[in-house]
Structure 1
Amino acid sequence: MKDTLLFIPLLFISNLVLPQNPYKGDKCIVKSEFIYQPDEVKFPSCHASTIAEIPGGFITSWFGGTAERNPDVGIWISRYANGKWSKPEEAANGIRENNKRYPCWNPVLYNSGDEILLFYKVGPSPSEWWGELIISNDNGISWSASRRLPENILGPIKNKPVLLKNGILLCPSSSENDGWRVHMEMTPDNGITGTRTLALNDRKIAAIQPA
C-alpha cells in the first residue's frame, strides 16, 4: 500500500511539471493527399521521396520509372503552390554522352536559402553508383545541367544534410561497394568540393542511409 501511495503523487506531479506533447498519432499529420494520379504520369513505380520548403509552398522529388534499377528510372519533381501540386516533371536522368542510360536513385532536396540543391545518385546499382547534383535558382521551376560530384563523394545518400555553424554542409552518407558502411561527407561550397570521413562502422554492423 505504501508503494501505491508514493507512486500516485509522483505521477500526478510529473503530469503537472513535465511538458506534454499534444501532437501524437494523427494530430502530427497536417494534410495527407496524393501528389499525382496514376494516369497523369508515364512511370508505374516510384520510391525514395524527399521534400523541401520554398516560398509559398513546397517542392518534392522522387525517383520513378518502370521499376527500381531499370535504366529508364529518372528524378522527378513536383511543386506545391496555390493549394495544388504541379504535374510531375523529370528534372534529371542517367543518360550519358554515349547515349547509354543508367538508372537514377535517392534524390535529396536541400534549400540553402539562395538556391535549391538536388543531390541524387546515378549508376547500375548501389555498389557502383556515383553522386550528381543539379541546382535551381528559381525554387524548382528550372534546373541547371547535372554535375558529377568529386571523386569518392556521393552526397547525402537518402536523408537531408545539416548546415553547421562554420558554414560546412554535413551530409549523412554511406557506401555499399565494400559491405554496408556509414560515413559523413563535408562540403563548404554546396558540392563543388568535398571531403569524407572513414567508415563509422565495421563490417560486423551493417548500416546504410544514416539520418
Structure 2
Amino acid sequence: MKFIYTFLFSLGAFCATAQVEKAAFIYETAPYPSCHASTLAETPTGLVGAWFGGKHEKNPDVGIWFSHYVNGKWETPVEIANGIQGDGRRYPLWNPVLYQVPGKELILFYKDGPAPDEWWGMLKRSFDGGKTWSAAERLPKDIYGPIKNKAVLLPDGTLLCPSSSEDDDWKLHMEFTRDLGKTWSRTGPLNDGVTTSAIQPSILFLPDGRLQLVCRSENGFILQAFSGDQGRTWTALEPSSLVNPNSGIDAVTLKDGRHVIVYNPVKKGRSPISVAISSDGKSWKDIATLENEPGEEFSYPAVIQTSDSKVHITYTWKRKKIKHVILSL
C-alpha cells in the first residue's frame, strides 16, 4: 500500500515539500514475536536492513536478522548473528549497526552479552552486499562500535563511531578506527552521567567543518554538542529545542546540507514518532508524523539518504515489526 502525504513549510532559506512515498513493513510474519533497533545501509547492490529479534529483548534467543530490499520489496529476513558462546551458553544480541565502506565491505556492528551494562562489541563483514558473512570478531575492551546509530567517515579516512556506555551511569564517548575495525582509539566520557545522562548519539556535519552530535537523554530533551576537531573534543552537552522521552533517535545530514532527525516529540511515551528538518542543526521544524496511536510504541528509528536522494527510515512498530518509510524532500 502506498501513502502520499505532503507537508509544506518554510525554514530559513529553505522551502521544501516532504512526501511519504511509501510506508510498509519489512515483513508480515517472522519466527520470533518481538523485534527492535533497526539499522539501514546502501550497498552497491541496493538497500539492506537489520534489527534484533527473539522472544523478547534480553532473552538469550535474540539474534540479528537481515534483509535485502529488491525491486521495491523486502526479501524474507535471515538470521546472520547469534549469541552462542564457545562453551555453549547463549546470550542475547543487541543494537545492530550497518556501515557500507565505500568501495569495500559491508560491516555489521552489534553488541553481545546479558545486559547493556555487561555487553561487549562485535562485528562481522560481508564482501558481497550481505549475502554471506565472515566469522564474528570481538572488539577490544571498552570499544563497542557505533552503539545504535550509524558510523560516519571523516575526511581523513577515519571512521568515527558515535558510542556510549551504560555500566557506570549513561555516558557518551567517541570511537575511531583508521583501518576498518582492526585498531581503535576512543575519547573519554563526554558527560558525567549524573547531572547529564545521555546515550546513543548521532553525528551531523556543519558547513563550517564542525561536527554536531544529537543524542537521547534522561534530561527531557534531545541533547547536543559540537566539535571543531573532528570529534576528538566536544563542547559541553546542552539541551536542544527538541523534547525527548528517554527514547532512541537518529539523524542525518543530507547532501544539500540540511539535517533530518527522527524522534518521539513528547515528554513521555513512544508515540507519536515524527520527522523534523533543520538548516542549521539548531532550529527544527516537524515535517511529518509517521505514527500517532496513543499508548503504543513506535521507536528506535534509523535514517539514511540513498544515492537517489531519497530518505529511508525504519523504526520499531509496537515491538512486533519493523516499518520502512521512503521520504522525498
Q: Give SS of 1:210's match.
A: strand
Relative contact order, higher structure (CA 8 A, sep 6+): 2
> Is the Cα contact below 8 Å between 2:45 and 2:129 reproduced in 1?
no
Amino acid at match of 1:77: F
Confirm or deny that 1:157 pairs with 2:138.
no
Q: Does 1:44 align with 2:39?
A: no
Aligned Cα RMSD in Å?
1.3
Corresponding residue for 1:8?
none
Superposed CA deviations along residues 174-198 of structure 1, whole A, max 9, x for unmatched, are 0000000000000111111111100
What corresponds to 2:125 in structure 1?
A: 135
- Distance, in Å, in 2 between the alignment partners of 1:206 and 1:30 is 37
CA–CA separation in structure 2 for the residues paired with 1:30 and 1:185 = 35
Deviation at 1:53, TM superposition (A): 1.0
Q: 1:19 is matched by which residue type in structure 2? A: F
Are 2:41 and 1:35 equivalent residues in the alignment?
no
Selected match of 2:80 from 76, 91, 95: 91
CA contact under 8 A between 2:41 and 2:49: conserved in structure 1?
Answer: yes
Which residue of the other structure, out of 161, 175, 180, is the alignment partner of 1:171?
161
Aligned letter for 1:98? D
Checking the alignment, whether the CA contact within 8 Å between 1:187 and 1:194 is kept in structure 2 is yes
Q: Which residue of the partner structure matches residue 51 of structure 2? A: 62
- Give the total of aligned pairs: 190
**Which residue, 190, 199, 208 being the options, matches 2:189?**
199
Q: How much has 1:86 moved relative to structure 2?
A: 1.1
Within the candidate set 53, 71, 92, 1:82 is matched to 71
Deviation of 1:127 after TM superposition, in Å, equals 0.3
Match of 2:114 in 1: 124
**TM-score (ref. length: structure 2):** 0.56
1:103 aligned to which of 92, 98, 112: 92
Letter in 1 for 2:24: E
Q: Aligned pair in 2 of structure 1 residues 165, 18: CA closer, same or farther (>3 Å)?
A: closer
**SS of residue paired to 2:17:** coil
* 1:65-111 residue CA offsets vs partner (Å, 9 max, x unmatched): 00000000000000011232111100001001111000000000011
Deviation at 1:152, TM superposition (A): 1.3
For structure 2, list consecutive stretches of 5 or more residues without a partner in the other structure. 1-9, 203-329
Instruction: Give the counterpart letter for 1:48 in structure 2.
Output: A
1:21 is the counterpart of 2:16: yes
CA–CA distance in structure 2, aligned partners of residues 87 and 18 of structure 1: 43
1:131 partner letter? G
Matched residue, 2:199:
208
In the TM superposition, structure 1's runs of 4+ consecutive aligned residues that sit over 4 Å from their partners are none
Provide the C-alpha distance between the structure 2 equivalents of 1:56 and 1:138, rounded to a whole number of angstroms: 9
Deviations along 1:111-152, one digit per CA (max 9) or x if unpaired, are 102110000000000000000000000001010010001121
> Aligned partners of 1:64 and 1:154: how far apart in 2?
20
CA contact (8 A) 1:150 1:192 kept: no
SS in 2 for 1:64: strand
Mind listing any 5+ residue stretches in structure 1 that lack a counterpart? 1-14
Scaled by the length of structure 1, the TM-score of the pair is: 0.87
**CA shift at 1:56, angstroms?**
4.2
**Which one-letter code corresponds to 2:121 in the other structure?**
G
Rg (Cα) greater in structure: 1
Cα distance in 2 for residues equivalent to 1:169 and 1:22:
33
Structure 1 residue 55: Cα displacement: 2.9
Q: Which amino acid aligns with 2:13?
A: L
Match of 2:15, SS? coil
| CA distance in structure 1 between the aligned counterparts of 2:13 and 2:155, rounded to whole angstroms | 31
Matching residue's letter, 1:154: Y
